[in-house]
Structures are given as structure tokens and as C-alpha cells.
Amino acid sequence: MTTTWLPPETTGSGVPLLCLPHSGAGAAAYREWTARLAPALRVLPVRLPGREQRFTEPLLTSVKEIVTELAPVVLALPPGPYRLFGHSMGALLAYELAQAASAAGRPPEHLYVSGFCAPQLAHTQPKLHELTDAQLVEYLKSLQGMDSELLDLPELLELMLPVVRADFTVCGTYQHPDHAPLEIPVTVFAGSEDSTLPAGSLEGWREASTGPVRLHTLPGGHFYLTEQLDAVARVITA
């Protein structure tokens, strides 16, 4: 299967794990994952438009747009099980993708979500896409996901801020549909010091599926995955 949404086909017999990135990021966010998850899982980082190899393509600004284009790619995967993982914005996309695939008769074997509140609570989150550029930069610095000095470079911000704003629009304009619960296992990850997650916002994920829903809180903030990837990998491959 050839598609701009996924990396070129690679050899490997593991269960495909499609990984959706956080706001402002791309497939490179998962560059360390293959070594941690092989051979049990074959990591397929999703390539969103407007960044990396798809830099010249228009950015998408809604969950519906992205899922409408990405769902057929998932449904065209070779026969057999597959799984979904998403961090932050990617968690929201992975959830809606799981819903779309389930409705089409091909649900994922497992859904992993990280660093995002339960989807029915998304409307309570700050509307970050409405911030000024200066406010966006300060917010990004507060997350400590990258060197703050890099966020002072005008040439970097010129490339980065449109992507970040588009992705924040994806989250900030999301309206939770009246979905039936999924019927698959869901595993929820979060950093114990994640300032983006209000108290109790993870518990709502228990309503997302009639299957088992397990919560794992690990040390760290919103970008806890940087330090806790091995711990996450152990859970995913167990």
C-alpha cells in the first residue's frame, strides 16, 4: 500500500501501530519507537499534511478533515489486527479514527491515548488557537517540550507557528459527537505533572469504551514520553 499518510512499506511481521503526533509535530516524534517496540509491533508514524515530507500541502484544521482523509488509509491496511497510538492532539485524532474504523467494521485491536483529556471534555480546554503569536510562544515554552532558546529564533517560528496554530485549531474547534462507546481495550497514559490536564479529566476516558480502560500515570509533564518511553513500551508490548 502506497500513501503519503504513512512511511514507505518496511519489512517486519509485527502488528502495525499507527502513531499520531502532538500539535506542531510530525512523524519524527516517533523516530525512537521502532527500536523499543520491535519485533512485537511495527511502528507506522502518521504523516500529517503541511510538515516534513508533506510541507507543501495545505494544513488541515479540523478533526473531521483529518479523519475523513486518514480513515480510508487505515481501512486499506493489509488484513489482520492493527493498533492506534496518539499523544496530545494525536490522542484525539486516534480516538476519532478508532470510531470511524469501528463504524466501518474494522476496529483497531487496541487504542492508546496519551496526554489528552477525555474527548467529551475537550470543549472545556483553553482555545489556544485564539492566542497571539507571542502568547503562543510563551505557552509553548511553558510546556518545556523543546529548548526555549529555539523558540526565540524568528526563522524557526516562521515555519513552526502556522503548524502549531492549525493543530491547536484542530483541538480547539472539536465538538464531541454522540458516539456509541468503542468496544476495544483502551490504555490511557499521562504525565503526573502535566499542567494541560485538569484534575479528573483522564477518568472520563472510562466512558470511551465498553472494553477494559486502563490508566497509567508516569513521572513528568506534558512531554513525559521523552523520559518515560521505555516504561510506555513495556505496557504496550506486554
Question: Which residues are part of the catalytic machinery?
Answer: 88
Using alpha carbons only, give the angle 53, 85, 232 rounded to the nearest 5 degrees. 115
DSSP 60: P
CB atoms under 10 Å from CB of 10, counted, come to 9
Instruction: At 133, give phi and psi (nearest 5°).
Output: -60, -45
CA distances (Å), 169 to each of 8, 24, 38, in order?
Answer: 29, 11, 34
Q: Give the three-class secondary structure for 138.
A: helix
Place of cell 472539536: 174
DSSP 238: -
Place of cell 464531541: 176
Strand partners, 20: 86
